[in-house]
Structure 1
Amino acid sequence: MASRIRPLAPALRTLPRTGVVATTARVPSAATTAANVAAQSAAAARRSLSLKSFFSSRKPKADQFTSQFEPVLEQANLFHPLSKSPLPAVRAKAEWIEAHGSCPVCKEHSPEQKSKAPKYECPDCGYPTHCSEEHYNMDKEHHKHYCGVLREVNEDEHDLRSGRRMKEFEFPGAQHRDEAINLSNWDTFLYTRGFLSMNSERSMRHVSHVLTYPLTIGSVLHQSSPYRLGKDLTVEGLKSLAALRHTLHPAIISGITQSHDLRSTATHTVRIFCLGARAESHLPPHIYMQLAYLFPSTAFQIHFVGPDAIPPHTKSKEPHQHVHYEQLTFVYDSSRYEAYHAEAGPFNPYYDVFFLFSPGLAHPATRDMWKPTIPLLLDTKCAIFGTGFDEQDVMNDVNEIENAGYELDWLMKPRENAFRSLKHEVNLTDVRQSALCNWGIWGIRGRRYDVRPAE
């Protein structure tokens, strides 16, 4: 079992290159829709062109490649009320809101009675928000505070499904090691990595929503991290990250070309454990290559652990391992981490790190599920980083950890994540609530005691 969990990097030399299966068996959400579009656009970017086509006098025949980029919606026609949308998936969302949502005016004025379904759609944002036009007008002053966000989400959803060629998802490949990468924020990262120019805030929202998971990991671990000692990191945090960066940024040996770096110098595999994995495990594997490009001389294993950790190309919930290219190995396991812990050990702070993306440590529905997990994580003495979808969610998790009385050291103070998603996620049961994926970030580690001579 240990060999399945931790193969050495040199063994990767004999592994064949495998392709990405682009089919997903799950009903696409906003995150998976963007990921699927990204996968299609990446394939489109690799399509070869024939020189003959430049001199041909005949109009080329329509094929599957060209037809998939015939827009269903024009860019000037992206706003539609959800129930009248030309896209079936968007109309289905309106039906879901009507079935499971509630009118805020009914809840406020008649809390003892069952709230009516929100069937009236706001003419400005297109979302069903109230049970009637009368209640909508009564609540209009409050509704305007979140109407703009709903309008933005409405248009973004129609744009993703419009059928246009999503050039913003044609991601760049590896770059030369002498080209510096700036991880200060989204703008500087996309520019220094050679992404196509983002000419609109909507394109930025699409790209950030897909890349927030690998870039949140990369921005913490990279030596050019935007998080600094004193302002963001504690002394213990700097120690933990220095250990990981010692492995992630090996010394450059002159005479070894970039194409041979991984095969010649990678002697260990860095393991990234994503616990309670949900949306991050459903992304196509090539999305995580943007993380691998930040560390060209390191082999990675990414472990997605949790009941919802399902590979993007299968319905099976059995433990599954998928190897993608030379640098990345993906392990999917749908068991609880308590059962997975013994198989994954032993752990080493130089090679292992944990990420908990919006875990809900303090949420009533998941608090008890995390209680047996946190002590096991702290016992590894490895770095543990968590995120939250807003400031309140982050502080709830932080307070839950502090009040539990664990012996731990804080590595990173709770703060806003530089690589949070810029796209709002709407709570369909209450459209007044929205959040940004991975808005905030924090870090802890099991307490380590210095050895001192006895007096």
Structure 2
Amino acid sequence: MASRLRPVLAPALRILPRTAAARVSSAAAISARRSLSLKSFFTSRKPATSDPFTSQFEPVLEQADLFHPLSKSPLAPVRAKADWIAAHGTCPVCKEQDSHSHSHSEISEAAETEKSKSKSKPPTYECPDCGYPTHCSEEHYKMDKEHHKHVCGTLREVNEDEHDLRSGRRMKEFEFPGAQHRDEAVNLSNWDTFLYTRGFLSMNSERSMRHVSHVLTYPLTIGSVLHQSSPYQLGKDLTVEGLKSLAALRHTLHPAMIPGITQSQDLRSTATHTVRIFCLGARAESHLPPHIYMQLAYLFPTTAFQIHFVGPDAIPPHTKSTESHQHVHYEQMTFVYDNSRYESYHAEAGPFNPYYDVFFLFSPGLAHPSTKDMWKPTIPLLLDTKCAIFGTGFDERDVMNDVAEIENAGYELDWLMKPRENVFRSLKHEINMTDVRQSAQCNWGIWGIRGRRYDVRPSDQ
């Protein structure tokens, strides 16, 4: 064996000092002899040096050990969550009893509040099946078990997902692919086809799909609406006016191929247009790392983007800056963060062009009592731009409440997209911490409007 290795090692040995060459030759011979040992077939040998990237992932929890009652979790943030629910949540049986007793009594509002406080108890008893604190006692838990079983599976799923995210394992599903070759088509029919045609690592579980969809729901909701291969079609989802508005944007986003550019060149360096995406009332979408939004940019390789996050909670991720207006540049994208109200930002951002500008309102709460007044001065300004406006909601009720609020306000507008379920909604459920019976999915539904445009027609002569 050693004699067969010498011709291969000879060129390297000639350029090494004699002593070094002798050591290499000796080491090669020893290695060759060891490779023939029967012991080597049955004994696992650890490499002398481990992969520094892989070695940094030391799981705190194994995949078979993801379920824990929240208060007994080995992870401090999860235990803190149990404490918060116990402090601010409500036992559903107590709540129902209070409601029933109040409906049959005639007492003052102040006395009713005191009575409610005295009877309601915090949810400190944890369901053994989902691990969430759901009721004030085992007795009330058993009384309400018939209702609780409808949400128990979702709560357990969320429990295990949270432990998985904090388990310390290498999250391979978050290792996203880079730019795609221009001749490779992307299928935006659903999550599965998108991830497959974009070259994501294989998702081996529904849990991995939930993790990825929760992170990518914002850029993919935008991309699925604007892309020429959008899953939303005329008649079924889009109105005629909707197709007109999207055709204007797609004319900018999908320009004819630029002459003189070869397939091997980086098309991102040839961007000839800048499209502005305004995310108003921005919250979670503004906290995503910039590289997440590159999955949107990869769908439109010849377009540069400016993404404007506007709202009191629009804060760049991983920053301690207190400036109210910030710019972050990342490859072909520029991110603008402004924590002012949109009505004060509108004049600075104008003028607007329906070919280059589009608005997204992610779960804005247009009809929610705590936020509806905030949107009243904003919606007329958006409609006045004649640019496309798309909104999302947490669930069907949230979407239809916002739609009803818009329709009842008497605005001059055209509907671009009928309210419907969002193809790229998050597959992960978010739990209402004050009432764990309630859950929602980020960007569950989607709708679209635009300020009404009137066709100019010649008057009869």
Structure 1 length-normalised TM:
0.85
Which structure's relative contact order is higher, taking Cα pairs within 8 Å and 6+ residues apart? 1
Q: In the TM superposition, what whole-angstrom CA distance separates every residue of 1:190-221 from its partner, at most 9, and x where no partner exists?
A: 00000011010000000000000000000000
Structure 2 residue runs without a partner (length 5+)? 1-30, 32-44, 100-114
The alignment status of 1:178 with 2:183, answered yes or no, reads: yes
Shift of 1:110: 2.2
Summarize the alignment of residues 189-204 of structure 1 with structure 2, pairs less than 5 Å apart.
189-204=194-209
Q: Secondary structure at the match of 1:332?
A: strand
Partner of 1:140: 145
Distance across 2 between alignment mates of 1:133 and 1:215: 43
Q: Secondary structure at the match of 2:423?
A: coil
Shift of 1:313: 1.6
The alignment status of 1:74 with 2:74, answered yes or no, reads: no
Shift of 1:254: 4.1
Shift of 1:285: 0.4
Structure 2 length-normalised TM:
0.84
Distance across 2 between alignment mates of 1:236 and 1:195: 35
Q: Secondary structure at the match of 1:105?
A: helix
Partner of 2:417: 412
Distance across 2 between alignment mates of 1:146 and 1:313: 35
Higher alpha-carbon Rg: 2
Distance across 2 between alignment mates of 1:350 and 1:113: 56
Partner of 2:40: none
CA contact under 8 A between 1:101 and 1:429: conserved in structure 2?
yes
Shift of 1:93: 0.5
CA RMSD of aligned residues (A): 1.4
Distance across 2 between alignment mates of 1:157 and 1:262: 36
Distance across 1 between alignment mates of 2:51 and 2:181: 36
107, 112, 133: which is aligned to 2:95? 107
Partner of 1:17: none
Distance 1:317 1:105, change over 3 A: farther
Q: Secondary structure at the match of 2:116?
A: coil
Distance across 1 between alignment mates of 2:198 and 2:259: 24
Structure 1 residue runs without a partner (length 5+)? 1-54
CA contact under 8 A between 1:262 and 1:298: conserved in structure 2?
yes
Letter of the 1:263 partner, please give it.
S
Q: Secondary structure at the match of 1:199?
A: coil
Partner of 1:320: 326
Letter of the 1:324 partner, please give it.
Y
Letter of the 2:452 partner, please give it.
R
Instruction: Give the % identical residues.
Output: 85
CA contact under 8 A between 2:89 and 2:434: conserved in structure 1?
yes
297, 309, 323: which is aligned to 1:304? 309
Distance across 1 between alignment mates of 2:221 and 2:51: 39
CA contact under 8 A between 1:68 and 1:163: conserved in structure 2?
no
Distance across 2 between alignment mates of 1:301 and 1:307: 19
CA contact under 8 A between 1:389 and 1:440: conserved in structure 2?
yes
CA contact under 8 A between 1:125 and 1:148: conserved in structure 2?
yes
Q: Which runs of 4+ in 1 moved over 6 A?
A: none
372, 396, 401: which is aligned to 2:377? 372
The alignment status of 1:341 with 2:329, answered yes or no, reads: no
Distance 1:125 1:165, change over 3 A: same
83, 88, 102: which is aligned to 1:95? 83
Q: In the TM superposition, what whole-angstrom CA distance separates every residue of 1:212-241 from its partner, at most 9, and x where no partner exists?
A: 000000000000000000000000000000
Q: Secondary structure at the match of 1:113?
A: helix
Partner of 1:230: 235
